[in-house]
Amino acid sequence: MEFHHYSVLLAETIEELHIRPDGVYLDGTLGGGGHASEVCRRLTSGHLYGFDQDDAAIAAASERLAPFEEHVTILRDNYCNAGTRLAELGVVGVDGIVLDLGVSSYQFDTGERGFSYRIDAPLDMRMDQRQSLTAKEIVNSYSESRLFHVIRDYGEEQFAGNIAKHIVQARADKPIETTFELNEIIRAAIPARMRKKGHPSKQTFQAFRIECNRELEVLKNSLEEFIDLLNPGGRLCIITFHSLEDRIVKSAFRRAENPCTCPPEFPVCVCGKKSLGRCVTKKPIVPSGRELAENNRSKSAKLRVFEKILP
């Protein structure tokens, strides 16, 4: 299957990056190379470093970015390691960073990857297939309590307790191995009246995917380093797809803009913590009606932008 990923909020992201022809840029979620190719079109002497965990994404992006070969370095790695990898290459600062946190259409639509509750496939959900932890292991080895917390916290599923209970009961007979097996267990755990509000597995599958790939942990642990990595005037553009991601980004940007920890009643700041820049987007940028008509998977996308400004 050909790698496909619709580059959500593409024009808006490129506009907000304020690309300089001689700048250095980082795409931490390369995907099919959509955002990266538009950055490269605007470079003359500049360079882009692209990261992705997925070997299929690396192959697709390498082909798409071949015309810009002299301006591109592609690395197969998690974006949380970008700072270390760039330092090894002698890069100590960048002028812009893009993170598109959405799962690619290729990953959803390739059955054997196990991301989709609409395709019967082995429970996998790994973005990096070199890692050992899979959704199957999570479903079959986590305790009922741990399953409950994953489903509740990462899926925001109101029936998390009952779903965890049903999973543990079902696996006592045999291991749960496929997406459709898990669908049936989830369906049985949710009251019939609630199944009309969308596919019953949506939130639980999201939860297991996030847990499998440590998505929120990686995001939390990377934002401060990315802001530090920006050169003055550089911009960090992040596209999120659910409220959990968006809250993390929004909070991190606010802390970087106003890191002061002094009590509100203090007349002046004494903690000495200085602002690192400004949140360009007080409200997130969302897809246009035209984009929603072209790609309904972009409906939950939000773009937030932070600009590095040093005193």
- 241-294 pLDDT per residue, tens: 999 999 999 999 999 999 888 888 888 888 888 899 999 999 999 999 999 998
Whether 205 and 132 share a structural domain: yes
Shared-domain flag, residues 224 and 300: yes
Verify that 236 and 194 share a domain, yes or no: no
Range of the domain at 282: 10-106+215-308
**Boundary of a domain, candidates 166, 198, 213:** 213
Whether 3 is in a domain gets the answer no
Asked, for residue 270, whether it belongs to a domain, the answer is yes
Give the C-alpha separation, 307 to 111, whole Å.
39
Asked if 182 and 238 sit in the same domain, the reply is: no
pLDDT of 104 reads 79
pLDDT the model gives residue 102: 87
Claim to verify: residue 178 and residue 225 sit in the same structural domain:
no
Give the pLDDT score at 92: 95
Domain count, the chain: 2
- Same domain for 36 and 122, yes or no, is no
C-alpha separations of 222 from 178, 249, 286, 299 in Å: 32, 10, 23, 25
Which of 189, 213, 237 delimits the end of a domain?
A: 213
Q: Are residues 224 and 287 in the same domain?
A: yes
**Inside any domain, residue 111:** no
Q: Which residues of the chain have pLDDT under 70?
A: 1-6, 311
- On whether both 17 and 152 belong to a single domain, the answer is no
| Dmax (CA) of the chain | 65
Whether residue 220 sits in one domain with residue 209:
no
pLDDT of residue 5: 60
Return the CATH number at 147: 1.10.150.170
87 and 23 in one domain? yes
Q: Could you tell me the pTM of the whole model? A: 0.93
Regarding whether 243 and 99 lie in a shared domain, the answer is yes
> 62 and 18 in one domain?
yes
Residue 194: predicted pLDDT: 82
CATH number for the domain harbouring residue 296: 3.40.50.150
Q: Which of 183, 213, 243 is the last residue of a domain?
A: 213
